[in-house]
Structure 1
Amino acid sequence: MNDLGQVTDEAVAERVPVAGAAEWRSRAIRVLSVLVAIGTWQFLTAGHIRMWVRFDMLPTITQIAAAFRHQLGTDTYWLDLGQSLVRILTGFALAAVLGVASGVALGRSRWAADILGPITELARPIPAIAIVPVAILLFPSDESGIVFITFLAAYFPIMVSTRHAVRALPTLWEDSVRTLGGNRWDVLVRVVLPGSLPGVFGGLSVGIGVAWICVVSAEMISGRLGVGYRTWQAYTIVDYPDVFVGIITIGLLGYGTSAAVEFVGRRVTRWLPRAQEAPK
């Protein structure tokens, strides 16, 4: 028995350095891929390369970096960033609450599926950005309209993912709770909500990405503040370095919010078994 335990400990000790080396190698490759992309962009734009794509019309990395450094020192940049974050977080929070609630209802209740199902399926294929004219007419302020567009963009991925996750739950789990004397509330709290969490957070991750696309588009069309509005304004005055400052800012904001959603999802579902990628 002692020999077996010693062999097991030695095997674990051998695997830990291998896993650590693989993790560092993966990080190095990711950083290198970004550096190669940046270097390639600088080479193509600084060299005025014109093939089937006109890189000579685009700003260089050094020009973008100078514009970014200038924007970071202005109050307008931070005001736009804060305004976009308020819009995205407000719309996404509303979509998360209503999307999960309606997804559970559609997955569990035949009445909800019969009443709300046809409406949601008819509205779901319509791009949220196509509702901008309706939002302008419907809401008294541009701010409310942009938040509504953001909510609408995030709502459907969250609702659909939650509905599918609820419907995919094994009936054996519910039968077990009812056999032990549980009621419908117990089934909801102990089976439906915990069991559907992976699907819910999958929908939240997709929803936050779609919401960023639509909030930026809405800001370009009808906004007076925000990263999207400022990016479009820079384009209209032919300030291409500031256009890319806006694009990079949107990418960083989207990455940060998506990473936050995935981090919360991993924490909430930490009781689930995780698949480990084998080191190569």
Structure 2
Amino acid sequence: MEAALRNLPDTVTRLAPATEPPAPAQAKPVLPAAVRPDRLARWFRLHRAQLRGGLLGLISLGIFVALWQVLTANHATFYVRFTNVPSPAEVLARAILAFHNPVFGDHIWMSCRRILYGFTLASLVAIPLGLLMGRFQILREIVFPICEVTRPIPAIAWVPMAIMLWPTNEESIVFITFLGSFFPILINTLQGMATVDPVLVRAARCLGAKEASVFREVYLPASLPQIFTGLTVGMGVAWVSLIAAEMISGQFGIGYFTWEAYSLVQYSDIALGMITIGVLGLASSFAIRLLGRVAMPWGAAR
């Protein structure tokens, strides 16, 4: 009897129906973090204004090109004549040929190099000079009258003088570009120094900051928005000055290319040169704004 009771668990185990182990639950597919719907929705909410601005910009450009096509295809004449203006299709065909020609690339490279030299020199001179003039009144009283007398002179009026001053046309064109961008950068730097809160300056000095530290920690950060405004305006004026100088005394450059096309009655090349100037100017201004966001992260955060 006791032996039967001891063998009872083994008997029950053998007679119990076999049961299959439960199937493991299927794991849900995990999407990468970059494509999760919540992440995408949040990204669209954060960049809604930029996306709307870009979309409206593309629509406006499309309307402009369509209107251009309609006016040139119908040779519209209502005081303004579109009889000789090339159509967008003609300009596009000419652009394809031009970009396969290395000479057109040389024109673009020469203009970009002149802009880089002239604008960089103007920035390196105008920004420190504007900061010093804004800080020291005696320096401002000496330099500012000279700047105010020379600032209203158009850059194109400096071309004959620049040809006499500099030994080569290349240096004279860079000098014209320098003048075009120098005054906007200088005036905006002065305006930035004038808007610095004097309470911040007194607080820095009360904390023991020296003159160099006040410049570095107070004046320069407070003036940066106006400085970058001056850089943006100066870049636009630099392109205007460069194109004028290249048309008059240049032998290479996009301005020379455009003027030569006018002289040879090549209307498609005129439009191509104008569009190229606009694209290069837009890219230059965008680069300055991007640099401003890096230099002023607090402004980008707003």
TM normalised by structure 1 equals 0.90
CA contact under 8 A between 2:184 and 2:231: conserved in structure 1? yes
* Distance in 1 between residues matched to 2:56 and 2:44, nearest whole Å: 18
* Distance in 2 between residues matched to 1:240 and 1:20, nearest whole Å: 41
Q: Quote how far apart the aligned CAs of 1:16 are.
A: 6.4
CA contact under 8 A between 2:107 and 2:252: conserved in structure 1? yes
CA contact under 8 A between 2:84 and 2:267: conserved in structure 1? no
One-letter amino acid matched to 1:109? F
Q: How does 1:149-160 map to 2 (within 5 A)?
A: 149-160=176-187
2:66 counterpart of 1:39: yes
Q: Which residue of 2 aligns with 1:8?
A: none
Q: Which residue of 2 aligns with 1:170?
A: 197
2:98 counterpart of 1:71: yes
Q: Which residue of 1 aligns with 2:257?
A: 230
What number of residue pairs does the alignment pair up? Answer: 264
1:26 to 44, 47, 53: 53
Describe the shift of the 1:241–1:16 C-alpha distance in structure 2 as closer, same or farther (beyond 3 A). Answer: closer
Q: Quote how far apart the aligned CAs of 1:273 are.
A: 6.5
More displaced stretch, 190-199 vs 203-212: 190-199
1:185 to 190, 202, 212: 212
Q: Which residue of 2 aligns with 1:118?
A: 145
Q: Quote how far apart the aligned CAs of 1:266 are.
A: 1.1
More displaced stretch, 81-90 vs 119-128: 119-128
One-letter amino acid matched to 1:229? Y
2:78 to 41, 51, 58: 51
**Percent of aligned pairs with the same residue?**
39
In structure 2, stretches of 5+ residues that fail to align are 1-39
Q: Quote how far apart the aligned CAs of 1:19 are.
A: 5.0
Segments of 4+ moved more than 6 angstroms: 13-16
One-letter amino acid matched to 2:93? A
One-letter amino acid matched to 1:105? L
- Cα-to-partner distance string for 1:130-162 (whole Å, 9 max, x where unaligned): 111100110000000000000000000000000
* Distance in 1 between residues matched to 2:253 and 2:173, nearest whole Å: 11
Q: Which residue of 2 aligns with 1:4?
A: none
Q: Quote how far apart the aligned CAs of 1:186 are.
A: 1.1
Q: Which residue of 1 aligns with 2:173?
A: 146
2:141 counterpart of 1:108: no
RMSD of aligned residue pairs (Cα, Å): 1.8
2:234 counterpart of 1:221: no
Question: SS at 1:272's partner residue?
Answer: helix
Question: SS at 1:157's partner residue?
Answer: helix
Describe the shift of the 1:114–1:29 C-alpha distance in structure 2 as closer, same or farther (beyond 3 A). Answer: closer
Question: SS at 1:57's partner residue?
Answer: coil
Q: Quote how far apart the aligned CAs of 1:54 are.
A: 0.6
Q: Which residue of 1 aligns with 2:269?
A: 242
Q: Which residue of 1 aligns with 2:120?
A: 93
2:141 counterpart of 1:127: no
One-letter amino acid matched to 2:120? A
In structure 1, stretches of 5+ residues that fail to align are 1-12, 276-280
TM normalised by structure 2 equals 0.84
